[in-house]
Chains A and B, each alone.
Chain A
Amino acid sequence: MSSRAVTGTALVFLVAMAGYFLLPVYWLFVAATKSTGELASTPGLWFGHLDLLTNLRALFARDGGVYLRWVVNSLLYAGAGAVFGTLLAAMAGYALSMWEFRGREAVFSVILGGVLVPATALALPLFLLFARFGLTNTFWAVFLPSVVSPFGVYLSRIYVAASVPADLVEAARIDGAGEYRIFFTVVARLMSPALVTIFLFQFVAVWNNFFLPLIMLSDQRLYPVTLGLWAWNSTASHDSALQTLSITGSFVSIVPLVVAFLSLQRYWRSGLATGAVKT
Chain B
Amino acid sequence: MGFLAPFAIGYAVFYLLPVGYAVYQSLLRVRRVGGVFGTTHQVFAGVSQYSALLSDRAFRASVVRVVVFGVVQIPVMIAVSLTLALLLDSKIVRFRRFFRLSFFVPYAVPGVIAAIMWGSLYAPNLSPLSDLGVHTDFLSPRLVLWSIANVGLWAYAGYNMLIMYAALQAVPPEVYEAAAIDGAGGLAVAWRIKVPLLRPAIVLTAVFSIIGCLQLFTEPEVFRSVTANISSTYTPNLAAYSTAAGNNYNAAAAMSVALAAVTCVLSFGFLRFAQRRFGS
Interface residues of A (CB under 8 A from B): 3, 6-7, 10-11, 13-14, 17-18, 20-22, 24-25, 27-28, 31, 39-40, 43-45, 88-89, 91-92, 94-96, 99, 107, 110-111, 114, 116-122, 124-129, 144-145, 147-148, 150, 153, 179-180, 183, 204, 207-208, 210-211, 214-215, 226-227, 229-230, 233-234, 236-237, 246-247, 250, 253-254, 257-258, 260-262, 265, 268-270, 272-273, 275-277, 279
Contacts and interface: CB of A to CB of B under 8 A. Distances in A.
B264 A117 contact: yes
A243 to B, nearest CB: 8
B184 interface: no
B225 interface: yes
Given A21-B154, A116-B268, A273-B166, A279 B110 contact: no
Contacts of A28: 117
A25 B109 contact: yes
B113 A91 contact: no
A124 B22 contact: yes
Given A45-B128, A125-B19, A233 B116 contact: yes
A125 B157 CA distance: 31
Chain B interface mostly: helix
8 contacts: A6-B92, A92-B8, A114-B15, A121-B260, A129-B21, A145-B14, A208-B112, A276-B200
A230 B116 contact: yes
A105 B224 CA distance: 45
B233 interface: no
Q: Which 10 A-B pairs have the closest CB atoms?
A: A44-B128, A92-B7, A125-B22, A273-B166, A125-B18, A95-B3, A121-B260, A261-B108, A276-B201, A234-B225
Nearest to B214: A118
Contact of B105 (A44, A147, A150, A258): A258
Nearest to B171: A277
A251 to B, nearest CB: 9
Residue among B113, B126, B217, B224 having the largest count of chain A Cβ atoms under 10 Å: B113
Interface of B: 1-4, 6-8, 10-11, 14-19, 21-22, 25, 80, 83-84, 87-88, 90, 92-94, 98-114, 116-121, 125-128, 131, 154, 157-158, 162-167, 169-170, 186, 200-201, 203-204, 207, 211, 214-215, 217-218, 221-222, 224-225, 237, 240-241, 244, 249, 252-253, 256-257, 259-260, 263-264, 267-268, 280
A262 B119 CA distance: 25
Nearest to A88: B7
A6 to B, nearest CB: 7
